[in-house]
Chain A
Amino acid sequence: MIPVILRRLRDLVIIMFVVGTALFFLIRSIPGDPAKVLLGIKATPEQLAALRADLGLDGPLWQQYLEWISRAVRGDFGVSIKYREPVTELIFGHLAPTITLAVFATVISFGLTVLLVTWSTVKPTSRLSRFVNRLVQFGLALPEFWTALVLILVFSMTLRWFPPSGYTPLFQDPATALTQLAIPVVVLVIGQTAFFTITLEESVLGELTQLYLRTARVKGLSEWRIATRHVMPNSLLPILTTVGMNFASLIGGIVVIESIFVIPGLGTLLLGAVYARDFPLIQGGVLFVAFLFVFVNLLVDLTYSLADPKVRVA
């Protein structure tokens, strides 16, 4: 168990290092002097020099790089140009909405998927199973930004059940927060559930060819018991990794959703930074998203090794 954790932590460090280095040189490769761009043509040489020092842009490139690394390791990503606040504080200030969306979307769609797939394992010929099987292909094909707008059109503008935008912290005013989160979460759940269902169905189909199921039937277990005790646990293990890898596309969806519903999360922060050409914020924010992705996958792998005896022993 401990070697597994150590190995994964080492991978995390390597990936963060590669991503950080790539980002550093990509951003530095932008032609032109960011300080001049930021201050305009009226800037005095002293102001330019001060801003360059502020942004870590003085000295040769390798020195800047070392400086940046040593600051980044201590969690200091500089000061945002747009907001004039430390990047780290900005990121943590915008983290809650994004995490709320991600957790709600993942938990609801994973739960829904397990229910639907268990049902279709036990009763493959039932109307619901066939319906879900058709529906999944549609769910996969719907673009999130469009589903969101269609749901706004129907449920906010026509039926007036939910507000079309806005965000309230969950613990501040749960009732308002939940009505505001309803449409964004549903949009994310549609895509995620479709994807999880198709992956889990495939895993279950593979599991159903196993011979031990015949033994289970012969000794008189009901189809329900076979599905919940034998098929599901074995099929769920391999798709745990898929859930982790899917985090990247979930974040992509959340960026879009945040921009449509005006939710002040990481996506809105990063998109705003693009238009302001806020390099420190982009660098810190993107690195943080990469960190989240690797961290989530680390957690998934640890759960995996806890759940799977074969991996646990190894």
Chain B
Amino acid sequence: MTKSELIERISESQDQLSCRDVELAVKLMLEYMSQILSSGDRIEIRGFGSFSLHYREPRVGRNPKTGESVVLEGKYVPHFKPGKEMRDRVNESIGQH
């Protein structure tokens, strides 16, 4: 499912908002969630999961083309931990598909 399919499916499952409004809402939610993570804050959606940042230590990497060593600085990466309902629902589907 892509973003545009998500917008369509949300539109079809409710009858108050136009497709255009749903599109704006989905884009705003994703933008806001990105903004929150970029400012170092967490996102916690009960039954879905939580997003937070994980720190990656600085390390010496290698340029795969030249073999040359490169110092890579420490950085933060986004991390998602599925919530219990998400884990259970996805796992229950294993026998069915």
Bound pair (A, B): no
A residues with a Cβ closer than 8 A to B are none
